[in-house]
Structure 1
Amino acid sequence: MKSVVGYGSLLCERSARETVPGLTHFRIVEVPGYIRIFNKVGVVFFSRHKADPSTRQIASCSTRKAEHATIICSQFECSDEEYLALYEREHRFNWVEVETRHSIEGGARGLMCTTSTDLEYRQHKCQSEQDYHTRVGQYYDGLLWRDDIYPFPRYLAFCLQAAEGLGPDVLNNFLDTSFLADGACSIRRYLDRTPELKEWRTMDTGYHYPR
């Protein structure tokens, strides 16, 4: 069995069960020492959802170490087989073991996706240029890890809806410990300055996402 930590759409238990049908013991935990950051190009936004690269609204969510931050996440257990399928789907991330804290159960450990680099990904996770083309290049030809992109709107709305579904504390944590790819502007500030996202609560996201 593996213990998995979700920080974006996997905050929604229904979405998590669609991604990992056999999961058990879904719970909410704190993960100290990390922030969320929208700094990875979501290839799925090109392959399935007709993202427009010219808008730069093409980012999915990752995590990054940050000494004094704590993010609220989900945690659940799954079989080794389901974890391998999840690992394959989240192939462009690094996976790390992190400390988790539960209000009743205390401390534990879990596996969580985190930031990588283009060089690391190509050298250590893609077996060949053809493998990279199959996974990425046929859909998108730029850098995967960038500091100048913005969240894909429907994906961000889905993550916010998932966080709000767990209560105001989880939503506020998401808004204040999640950042644009520049690492400086919080998602709360980004929403304040982006009128088309003001109605994220009622936005029809239309589909589910991993992470």
Structure 2
Amino acid sequence: MIVLRRSVRGGDACVLVLFVAPTNQQSVWCRRIFFFFFAITMSMPSHLNHHSDFEVLASPDGYVSICGYGSLLSEKSARTTFPHLANFRIAKLTGFRRLFTAVGGFFFIHGVANTQTEEIAALSVEPCEGETIVIAIFEIKKTEIPAFIEREREYRFLAVVPESLDGKPFTNPAVLCASYTDEEFFKFKCSEGTEIYFQQYGEYKIHKIWRDDVFPCRVYLRHCVLAAKSLGDEAYNNFLDHTFLGDRKTTIRRYLEKVCTKFMEEEPPESLKTRYGG
């Protein structure tokens, strides 16, 4: 039995689902019905707030689709985090744009953040009418989801419906890591509070996660550009023209023209050559 209802909770549209299927055959049909209604009712993405929300997105064989839009555009890089990923492929996602607004604590730990120039940002995405981004999609086992949630907890988790490059909606929704705010993160996700959370980055003087006044980490940006280029001209040009600085005006193509593209020749440190090697 499926009960599917559209509602608004805390200003966010969401889909509430009760999914009960006592047999395998019923499970398959119920899931197909759910995904059908999910696709036609999802004019806005649905927030994934609990582990059980991710469970609903799992395919009958226990896999969950993940969207990659930055470093995960590279399958080699994606496999450093998800070594058992399956079915890596290209897709597009309508209604979102990429932004360099997430302060990457990882960059500080590995010595590739530049605090003098504020080149410390990683990518995120946010809803934006009229924008479309080319992304990568792959599947991971649902047993990997708890570790994924913990690793990416600074992000807002959304369920979205990607499309093939020729515009056909995917059968299964996918998980997207989207922009969050510090206020929401510390209210809903970070039980230890701001003081304890930032202790892990104390020596780097990080006091805010989400910022509009920072610039891309050079090693990370180089990797993302090379990864997009490896997927073909459409993905490459889409990355350059539909990825923005925190001002939401300057595209990465314009930014590269302004700062000079010589840094594209800079190699990542040995510890990151696989993960950020393009």
Matched, 1:99 2:164: no
Matched, 1:55 2:117: yes
For 2:226 and 2:113, the matched residues in 1 are separated by 21
CA spacing shift, 1:50–1:205, aligned 2, 3 Å: closer
Deviation sequence 1:92-144 (CA, Å, 0-9, x none):
11111112001479312210110000111111111123651355556443221
Identity of counterpart residues, as a percentage?
A: 37
Matching residue of 2:92: 30
Q: Contact 2:112–2:219 (CA<8 Å) still a contact in 1? A: no
Residue from 262, 268, 272 that aligns with 1:198: 262
Q: Contact 1:191–1:198 (CA<8 Å) still a contact in 2? A: no
For 2:83 and 2:167, the matched residues in 1 are separated by 24
Two-structure CA RMSD over aligned residues (Å): 1.9
For 1:117 and 1:24, the matched residues in 2 are separated by 31
Matching residue of 1:181: 246
CA displacement at 1:9 relative to structure 2: 0.9
Equivalent residues in 2 for 1:71-86, closer than 5 Å? 71-86=133-148
For 1:139 and 1:199, the matched residues in 2 are separated by 23
Residue from 170, 176, 180 that aligns with 1:112: 176
Matched, 1:159 2:205: no
Please list every run of 5 or more consecutive structure 1 residues that lacks an aligned counterpart in the other structure: none
* Normalised TM-score (structure 1): 0.91
Q: Contact 2:114–2:217 (CA<8 Å) still a contact in 1? A: no
CA spacing shift, 1:104–1:135, aligned 2, 3 Å: farther
Deviation sequence 1:9-53 (CA, Å, 0-9, x none):
111111111210111111100000000000111011112225232
Q: Contact 1:36–1:179 (CA<8 Å) still a contact in 2? A: yes
CA displacement at 1:199 relative to structure 2: 4.7
Matching residue of 2:48: none
CA spacing shift, 1:86–1:5, aligned 2, 3 Å: same
Partner secondary structure for residue 100 of structure 1: coil
Residue from 86, 90, 94 that aligns with 2:152: 90
For 1:59 and 1:39, the matched residues in 2 are separated by 6
Q: Contact 1:192–1:198 (CA<8 Å) still a contact in 2? A: no
Matching residue of 2:66: 4
* Normalised TM-score (structure 2): 0.70
- Which one is further off, 106-115 or 60-69? 106-115
Please list every run of 5 or more consecutive structure 2 residues that lacks an aligned counterpart in the other structure: 1-62
Q: Contact 2:65–2:137 (CA<8 Å) still a contact in 1? A: yes
Q: Count residues in correspondence.
A: 207
When Rg is computed on C-alpha atoms for both structures, the one with the higher figure is 2
For 2:207 and 2:86, the matched residues in 1 are separated by 38
| Structure with the larger RCO, 1 or 2 (CA within 8 Å, 6+ apart) | 1
CA displacement at 1:157 relative to structure 2: 0.1
Q: Contact 2:218–2:263 (CA<8 Å) still a contact in 1? A: no
